[in-house]
Amino acid sequence: MMTKAELEEEYEKRIIEYRKILPYLTQEVQDCYRGLKENNSIRIDQDCFFTIKGTGSFVNKALKFEIDNETKKEIPNKYKYENPFIDIQDQIRARIVVYYLTDVERIANSVINTFGNIENNDFNNPNDYEKFGYQGRHIIVNINKNLIPDTINVNLDVIPDFFELQVKTLFQHAWSQAEHDLRYKGNGKLSFDDKRMLSFAAAQAWGADKVFEGIFKRQENCDK
């Protein structure tokens, strides 16, 4: 395993290459659901946008140790990712923010039908607090490097084989953004009461999605 400094240096170099393909990937993903958008079958608040995992976040993840299933403790000197540049799936990630749960499913399915996927997780019914921030559809999508235009002067050898796409409702997006800010950028760790209040807020957001989805479905059925 590389040292922290070596990982940082190498990842910074790769970020330069990753940025070169983001406009291409954005267009490709948007093309997947363009037809749905044009015939008003989906309602989008924020169209597909890409980001790159920050260097600090990547390095911290790369240096994580495996957790023993029985003791729930780290296994010394056994890293979770043997090759983090290959194994970490969210170095390049995208998000689409939509109005309703129906929109989440329609967009996710259109992307999968076009790109294919390595992993497809539906987190719309989380069963504990720690998973509420992951609400939505999380899809690990293939990057077909052979289709990247030659006009993009990029080193394909360092481009990951996939990116992570998250499709979320407005409520899911708002909750996850605020929770992430409090958890990782706030002053100090979250207390038990903090987590309890966040769980309450998450439940409210989950319920709001269900209410709006129900009304939307009834209206959609009336229009048919």
Listed by start position, the domains of the chain span 4-223
- pLDDT at residue 188 tops 70: no
Average pLDDT over residues 147-169: 95
The three-state (H, E, C) secondary structure of the chain, written as one string: CCCHHHHHHHHHHHHHHHHHHHHHHHHHHHHHCHHHHHCCCCCEEEEEEEEECCHHHHHHHHCCEEECCCCCCEEEEEECCCCHHHHCCCCEEEEEEECCHHHHHHHHHHHHHHHCEEEEEECCCCCCHHHHHHCCEEEEEECCHHHCCCCCCCCHHHCCCEEEEEEEEHHHHHHHHHHHHHHHHCCCCCCHHHHHHHHHHHHHHHHHHHHHHHHHHHHHHHHC
Distance CA 224, CA 204 (A): 31
More confident residue, 133 or 106: 106
Lookup result for tokens 């296994």: 75
**Residue 19, amino acid:** R
How do residues 9-55 score in pLDDT, each as one tens digit?
999 999 999 999 999 999 999 999 999 999 999 999 999 999 999 99
pLDDT at 72 (0 to 100)? 85
Distance CA 134, CA 122 (A): 9
CA atoms within 13 A of residue 13's CA, in its CB half-sphere: 10
pTM: 0.87
Q: Please, which residues have CB within 8 angstroms of residue 167's CB and are 6 or more apart in sequence?
A: 95, 96, 98, 103, 104, 107, 108, 111, 136, 137, 139
- The fourth-level CATH superfamily of domain 4-223 is Beta Polymerase, domain 2 (3.30.460.10)
pLDDT band (50, 70, 90) for residue 146: very high
pLDDT band (50, 70, 90) for residue 77: confident
Residue 119, Cβ density class (10 Å: 0-12 exposed, 13-18 middle, ≥19 buried):
exposed
Residue 138, Cβ density class (10 Å: 0-12 exposed, 13-18 middle, ≥19 buried):
buried
Average pLDDT over residues 175-187: 80
- pLDDT at residue 173 tops 80: yes
Q: Are 182 and 118 in contact (CB under 8 A)?
A: no
